[in-house]
Amino acid sequence: MIIAIDGPSGAGKSTLGRMLARKLNLLYIDTGAMYRAAALAVIESGVSTTDEDAVADVVARARINLAGDPDSLQVLLDGRNVSNKIRTEEVSQTSSVISTIPAVRRALVARQREMGKRGSVVLEGRDIGTVVFPEADVKFFLTARPEDRAQRRYEEDRLRESNLTFDETLDDINTRDARDSTRADSPLRKADDAIVIDSTELSIEEVFAKMLSAIRERQGRDA
Ligand code: DC
């Protein structure tokens, strides 16, 4: 079984992806973390993000892996655990910038497809239901009002001792949403057959229940 979760930043994709993986015993693949690890490799290499060939070259050479269970997922770059390092504001913006480069996407999509073939999986990102696994069994598109997404992100960041204010967090979300949705290659877009869940007025548990019942309904149909 392949479950795809797409949507803008801060919509709850990671939390819900992890919850589904735990409940249904699925492999959890956070594709945003892969773009973030690629961005960290680019920052550390010192190449300019405007030099697309050089960026693509760095990303092609980077060994990006996800390890561990959903609740303690480790993101590895060339064998180093970079799980915390990829959560900075600089990496967030750089990941959004380099993910517009087609060669970067090709490299990471190939890797995601390879990982997805390991068994039953839940993948979350921006283009899972449209490009990476258009044949996914169940597709979700999670969204919420930008202010609510920024509030969640702001609270998460504070636990990591980030200094960003709420307004800066909202700005970051709006800038990335605009870039992620308007790029030419695989923009953030709802797949035609995706189930849309707007979590603005819902708790995480309510969204989780909706997702679970959609998956069970689908499993029932296939049985
Ligand atoms: O989900 P996230 O915020 O960790 O993702 C970081 C950036 O990576 C996001 O701004 C856009 C990019 N991304 C993408 O282009 N395609 C994906 N499938 C996942 C993330």
Cα dihedral sign, 47-50-51-52: positive
Let me know whether 104 and 126 are in one domain: no
Let me know whether 22 and 126 are in one domain: yes
Confirm or reject: Cβ of 139 under 6 Å from ligand 1.
no
Q: Identify the residue with better confidence: 85 or 160.
A: 85
Let me know whether 13 and 54 are in one domain: no
The CATH number given to whatever domain includes residue 106 is 3.40.50.300
Confirm or reject: Cβ of 180 under 6 Å from ligand 1.
yes
Let me know whether 40 and 22 are in one domain: no
**Residue 137 tokens, joined:** 């069994």
Centroid of ligand 1 to alpha carbon of 210 (angstroms):
24
pLDDT at 208 over 90: yes
Dump pLDDT digits (tens) for 92-144: 999 999 999 999 999 999 999 999 988 899 999 999 999 999 999 999 999 99
Q: What is the DSSP letter of 118?
A: T
Confirm or reject: Cβ of 31 under 6 Å from ligand 1.
yes
Return the pLDDT at 69.
Answer: 87
Dump pLDDT digits (tens) for 56-96: 999 999 999 999 888 889 999 999 999 999 999 899 999 99
Centroid of ligand 1 to alpha carbon of 222 (angstroms):
31
pLDDT at 212 over 90: yes
Return the pLDDT at 207.
Answer: 98
For the CA of 10, the nearest atom of ligand 1: 3
Confirm or reject: Cβ of 169 under 6 Å from ligand 1.
no
Let me know whether 125 and 15 are in one domain: yes
Return the pLDDT at 220.
Answer: 85
Let me know whether 9 and 81 are in one domain: no
d(CA 135, CA 114) in angstroms, rounded, equals: 15
Centroid of ligand 1 to alpha carbon of 36 (angstroms):
7
Confirm or reject: Cβ of 172 under 6 Å from ligand 1.
no
Of 85, 100, 119, the last residue of a domain is 119
Dump pLDDT digits (tens) for 176-206: 999 999 999 999 999 999 999 999 999 999 9
Of 102, 119, 136, the last residue of a domain is 119
Structural domains counted in the chain: 2
Model pTM score: 0.95
Of 119, 152, 183, the last residue of a domain is 119
Centroid of ligand 1 to alpha carbon of 175 (angstroms):
13
* Whether 6 contacts 124, CB under 8 Å: yes
Let me know whether 168 and 109 are in one domain: no
Let me know whether 126 and 48 are in one domain: no
Let me know whether 22 and 125 are in one domain: yes
Let me know whether 142 and 52 are in one domain: no
pLDDT band of 160, cuts 50, 70, 90: confident
d(CA 42, CA 205) in angstroms, rounded, equals: 37
Let me know whether 184 and 126 are in one domain: yes
Return the pLDDT at 161.
Answer: 75
Let me know whether 75 and 51 are in one domain: yes
Write out the residue range of the structural domain in which residue 80 sits: 31-119
Using CA atoms, how far residue 70 sits from 75, 88, 164, 172, 216, in Å, is 11, 21, 27, 26, 21
pLDDT band of 44, cuts 50, 70, 90: very high
